[in-house]
Structure 1
Amino acid sequence: MSDMRTPLKRARGMGAAKEGTGHFWHQRLTALANIPLVIFFVGFVITYNGASYEEIRGVLANPVITVIMMLALLSILYHMKLGMQMIIEDYAEKEGMKVLLLLLNISFVFILGVVSFFALVKIAFGG
C-alpha cells in the first residue's frame, strides 16, 4: 500500500531526540537563574575570603543563605550537565562511546551534587 503523506508530513516530529526545544529552554532558564545566583556566590566568596571556619559556619547557619547556596549549586550543576550533554550528543560519533560519556556526565554531576550538598549541610548545621 502506498503512503499518501507528503515528504514534509512524514518528516515532522522525526527530530533526533524529539525533545530539542525542551533541552534548549532548560539551558536558557538555568543560565538566567545562574546570573543572580553566581553574583551572590562570588560576592559571598569575596566577602568571606580569609574568614575562619566558625565565621563561615555562623553565616551558613542562616537558612536563607544556605538555601540560596543550595539553589546556586543545583542550578549550576544542572546547567553544566545540560551543556556537557549537548556537547557529547553533538560530537561523540560512536553510539557506545556516546552512551558511556552520557553516563559519566550524569554520574559526575550526581556525585558532585551529593558531596557538595552534604558538605554545605554539614557546615550549616555545625558539623
Structure 2
Amino acid sequence: MTMKTDMKSVRGLGSAHSGTHHFWMQRVTATANVFLAIAFIIILIKAAGADYEAAKALVASPLVAIPMILFVVSGIYHMHLGMQVIIEDYVHTENLKIPLVMGNKFFSIVIGLSCIYAVLTLSFGG
C-alpha cells in the first residue's frame, strides 16, 4: 500500500532526501557559533581601545585569525541555511523562489569571501 497519489507518482515529486542533512547542519553550525562567538567576543575585548597597529598585530596571530575565519565560515553557512529555509517555506511562487535561493547563495559567498579576505589581509600584513 502506498501513500502517494496517482499524480505524485507520475510526476516523481517526492522527498529530495536532503532535509535531515540540512537540519543537522543548522544544529552543528549553531553549536559551533556559540563557541566561536565567545572566542570572537574575547578577541574584540582584547582589541577594544587599541590603535590600528595593535589590532593588526592581534589579528596577525594564527590563534586569533583562525577562530575568526572559522566564525565567519560557520556564521555565513548558518545564515545561508536559515535564509534558504525561510525562502523555501514562505515564497510560494517558483518564478520568485529560484532567483531568491540563487541570490541567497551568491550573497553568502560574496560576504563570506569578503570577510575572509579582510582577516587574511590583516593577518599577512596587508
Q: TM-score, normalised by structure 2?
A: 0.88
Same amino acid, percent of matched pairs? 40
Partner of 2:47: 48
Letter in 2 for 1:14: G
Partner of 2:104: 105
Q: TM-score, normalised by structure 1?
A: 0.87
| Residue pairs, 1:81-120, within 5 angstroms | 81-120=80-119
Query: 36-45 vs 70-79, which deviates more?
Result: 36-45
Separation in 2, partners of 1:99, 1:33:
29
Structure 2 CA distance for partners of 1:103 and 1:9, relative to 1, 3 Å: closer
Separation in 2, partners of 1:64, 1:50:
20
Q: Tell me the C-alpha RMSD between the 2 structures.
A: 1.8
Paired residues, what number?
120
| Residue pairs, 1:68-79, within 5 angstroms | 68-79=67-78
Separation in 2, partners of 1:94, 1:124:
44
Runs of 4+ in 1 over 6 A off after TM superposition: none
Give the gaps of 5 or more residues in structure 1.
1-5
Letter in 1 for 2:2: P
Give the gaps of 5 or more residues in structure 2.
none
Separation in 2, partners of 1:64, 1:44:
10
Separation in 2, partners of 1:66, 1:119:
10
